[in-house]
Amino acid sequence: MFKPYESDHFFDEMLQQNGTTKLHYQAFHNMINQFSAEELREKHETAQLSFLRQGITFTVYNDNVGTERTMPFDFIPIIVPPDAWSNIEKGMKQRAEALNLFLEDVYKEQNILKDGVIPRELVEQNPNYYREQVGGVDIPLNNHIFLAGIDLIRDQQGTYRVLEDNLRNPSGMSYVYQNRYVMRQVYPEFFNRHSIHSLEHQLSNMHDAVLAHAPKNCGEERDPRAVLLTPGMYNSAYYDHVFLAQQMGIELVEGRDLKVRNGIVYMKTIRGLQQVDIIYRRIDDEYLDPQAFNPDSTLGVEGLLEAYRKGNVAILNGIGNGVADDKAMYAYVPEMIRYYLNEEPLIPNVDTYFMRNEEQRRWALERLDELVIKNVGASGGYDMLIGPHASEEEIAMFKEKILENPSQYIAQPTIQLSRAPAFQDGRFYPCHVDLRIFVMRGDETHVLPGGLSRVALKEGSLVVNSSQGGGGKDTWVLKGVENHAQQSS
């Protein structure tokens, strides 16, 4: 039933240049060929409906009216062979480690700035650098990054490259689980001939990682109490929060459920106040504590920062991580890896040019139609120019924006994002994909096998964000030895 297509000049996850199926996709290819188009369409509908029924939705706001939507699901998985995965896993651990050392450094000694590896003003003028609030604070395990979501893409040659680091509140882990769950429910046949890494123990690893962050004043005599702090059901990632709290068996709280008294954080229960030791928060820094940050925030908890500074409560991810994951700092991560770890980056960056640098700016302004321009502070695919797809007006508009505010923008070559087949509306066609890898750090570091594959379902589109029409795919990491044994049988 599956018809190969020309893979053109793009790298394709499943097909060779000549249209034949890659080795690690062959078993899967044979499997889908046993289904008729009608069967596949039916299964596709069942899968989509199952997300809605379970309330696995995100909220999209339009003129302040929120609509719940499901993330479109595509059943053709991204399959990662064992050796490729092992390299990604190592690369992600390495990157997260370096980023964490960087955060610890810039909030304490600032050696990397003193040594001139990273321009001082890039850190100190960064709006997400909260030295005043959290500079010099000792935190449990010296760990600022409890959960990182690192977005990978593959270029024309199939090389994995890091596109973006998310060290604040990366979301999407629940989708990894639900994509797998729906796949197993609706397409159980697909799993028969594959041996893939299960996701099962990862949430208990995550729970252990949370609890490893007991604050220094918590003491040995009682078990630390952890909670997940959500902005509430109107947040677009609310389902993610519910899922993680439920799976880890920790309380899901909102700002109004917490109260700080004498530097101790409590939650309001039906039996009165109970002390809270560890907060996995999914509220951004600016809204965390109206006393210390945005005074208008109604989501946060008054006095939280004070409790954090006193070592009475741990906050995950750390406060002030935004200084390390914006698009300007991104370009320096390979340098951080060399500086702190004395290693070469295992997974390279995408080349990045700074518009604040006059020479690089002049070079870029001459070829905006070939480049991708990004606002260093924006995310979710907003305020972004994709040169080859842009109209002359858009290019002119970005030219003005860059000249007006050069340090706000970076330029990158347009990467021919890899593609994978998708099945929507009854037909197969190639779509661009990326992969968000989740790294969990506590006493040990774990990388969730696979991660969230996002797919730009609009044909030809490069934007994979769910708020802009992107969908999800299951991601399979094949097991090493067992897989070879099976293929030979």
Partner 1 sequence: MLSRVADSLYWMSRNIERAENNARVLGVQLIQMLEASSEDSLAKYDWEAVIEICGSLYEFNQLYDHFSINNVIDYLAFSEDNGSSILSCIKFARENARVTRDIIPTDLFEVWNDLYLESSNIYIPAGSLREVHHFIKRVKIASLTSQGVIESSMSRGVPYRFIKIAKWLERAEKTTRILNVLSEKSSQDAERADGTNYYYWRSALQLLNGYDEYLKKYPPRMYEKDVLTFLVTDYAFPRSIQYCMDHVREAIIALEGGRVSHYSWRMYAALDRLMDDFDEMKLKSLDVHQISSYLDEFQDRCNDISEVFSQTYYLIEPSHVP
Residues that bind partner 1 (CB under 8 A): 52-55, 232-233, 238, 242, 245-246, 251-254, 256-257, 267-270, 272
> For 283, which DSSP code?
S
Kindly state the smallest distance separating residue 261's Cβ from partner 1, in Å.
14
Kindly state the smallest distance separating residue 55's Cβ from partner 1, in Å.
5
Kindly state the smallest distance separating residue 233's Cβ from partner 1, in Å.
5
Name which of 54 and 87 has its Cβ closer to partner 1. 54
Name which of 137 and 273 has its Cβ closer to partner 1. 273
The neighbouring-strand residues paired with 432 are 419, 456
| Gap between the Cα atoms of 388 and 385, Å rounded | 9
Name which of 56 and 315 has its Cβ closer to partner 1. 56
Instruction: Tell me, rounded to whole angstroms, the distance of Cα 190 from its chain centroid.
Output: 27
Kindly state the smallest distance separating residue 65's Cβ from partner 1, in Å.
14
**Sole residue written with tokens 């689980």:** 177
| Gap between the Cα atoms of 150 and 92, Å rounded | 8
Q: Which of helix, strand or coil describes residue 33?
A: coil
Name which of 251 and 284 has its Cβ closer to partner 1. 251
- For every residue of 309-350, DSSP letters joined together read HTTS-EEESPTTGGGTSSHHHHTTHHHHIIIII----SSPBP
Residue 221 to residues 217, 384, 423, Cα–Cα distance (Å): 11, 52, 55
Length of the chain: 489
Kindly state the smallest distance separating residue 267's Cβ from partner 1, in Å.
6
Judge whether 316 and 153 are in contact, CB under 8 Å.
no
Name which of 15 and 47 has its Cβ closer to partner 1. 47
Kindly state the smallest distance separating residue 272's Cβ from partner 1, in Å.
8
CB under 8 Å to 203, separation ≥6 — which residues?
244, 247, 248
Name which of 55 and 127 has its Cβ closer to partner 1. 55
Kindly state the smallest distance separating residue 426's Cβ from partner 1, in Å.
24
Kindly state the smallest distance separating residue 49's Cβ from partner 1, in Å.
10
Q: Which of helix, strand or coil describes residue 60?
A: strand
φ and ψ at residue 418, rounded to 5 degrees: -65, 160
Phi and psi based region of residue 241 (left: phi greater than 0; alpha: psi -120 to 50; beta: remaining):
alpha
| Gap between the Cα atoms of 365 and 371, Å rounded | 9
Name which of 133 and 174 has its Cβ closer to partner 1. 174
Name which of 158 and 232 has its Cβ closer to partner 1. 232
- For strand 445-447 and strand 419-424, is the pairing parallel, antiparallel, or unpaired? unpaired
Name which of 54 and 298 has its Cβ closer to partner 1. 54
Kindly state the smallest distance separating residue 246's Cβ from partner 1, in Å.
4
Name which of 255 and 322 has its Cβ closer to partner 1. 255
Exposure of 229 in the CB half-sphere (CA atoms within 13 A):
33
Judge whether 163 and 327 are in contact, CB under 8 Å.
no
Kindly state the smallest distance separating residue 328's Cβ from partner 1, in Å.
38
Q: Does an H or E element contain 485, and which?
A: helix 480-488
Residue 216 to residues 113, 171, 194, 209, 262, Cα–Cα distance (Å): 29, 28, 46, 16, 17
**How many other C-beta atoms can be found within 10 angstroms of the C-beta atom of residue 20?**
11
